[in-house]
Amino acid sequence: MEKKHVIDAIIECGIVAVVRAESSELALRAVEAALAGGVNAIEVTFTVPGALEVIRTLSKGVSSDVILGAGTVLDPQTALDAVDAGARFIVSPNVNLATIEAAKSKGVAVFPGAFTPTEVLTAWQAGGDIIKIFPANVVGPSYFKDLHGPFPNIPLMPTGGVDLSTARTWLEHGAIALGVGGALIDRKLLKEGNFGEITERAKKFREIVNEFRMGK
């Protein structure tokens, strides 16, 4: 899948499920649950034990419409390894120019993390495709709205603390998509084996996105 199609598909979905789990097995079950709820943009973070193998397994076992990415990518070699394992987009919590360049060299989308106006512009000018605003919960939607003001043409995605109660507000303030971690892939639910609740939350997040875009 070409980079443009990956970006378009993520924007269309509106939700990127940020997968953090204490084992590779739980990560795979979490992905399965999110997909069942209609969230097909999946970010497997490198905090997951055996993250590369999880990405490799998913890249071989899921349908072609699933958009699989790697998160918490802190250096260029990890980015290269993730792409070789099957990741179609790379997400980092910070602006690392070498990591951005590594992703670009592989022809995949890259979403660097930024927090300040300077970081946003630096990440964008370096070749970031969508700029991840992180940690978004520290400042909230009002800051995001102010940040979006001078950068109307830069696609921004809040991540960190985005939940069902705030999702629509982030969208109203200009978010092109939402990175959702614990409010969707809840570690407590994973430990309990309550994957059905993860699926239901995924459905609710997708419903919020769809209703917003339909003007409801």
Looking at the chain, list the stretches that DSSP marks H as alpha helix, in order from N- to C-terminal side: 3-13, 24-36, 51-61, 76-85, 97-105, 117-125, 140-148, 167-172, 187-192, 195-213
Tokens of 153: 């043409």
* Catalytic one of 3, 132, 172, 211: 132
Q: Once rounded to an integer, what is the mean pLDDT over residues 32-55?
A: 98
Catalytic position from the list 22, 43, 188, 192: 43
Residue 63: predicted pLDDT: 82
CA distances for 123 relative to 57, 93, 155, angstroms = 30, 11, 11
Which pLDDT belongs to residue 64?
A: 84
- Determine phi and psi for 194, rounding to 5 degrees: -90, 70
The 10s digit of each residue's pLDDT in 88-145 is 999 999 999 999 999 999 999 999 999 999 999 999 999 999 999 999 999 999 999 9
Hey, is 139 helix, strand or coil?
A: coil
Residue-averaged pLDDT of the chain: 97
pLDDT in tens, 132-191: 999 999 999 999 999 999 999 999 999 999 999 999 999 999 999 999 999 999 999 999
Note the pLDDT tens digit of each residue in 195-205: 999 999 999 99
d(CA 203, CA 216): 17
Domain extents in the chain: 3-211
Could you name the CATH architecture of 3-211?
Alpha-Beta Barrel (3.20)
Q: What is the mean pLDDT of residues 1-7?
A: 92
- Count of helix runs (H) and strand runs (E) in the chain: 10, 9
Q: Is 171 buried (19+), middle (13-18) or exposed (0-12) by CB count in 10 A? A: buried
The amino acid at residue 45 is: T
132 is catalytic: yes
Is 204 catalytic? The answer is no
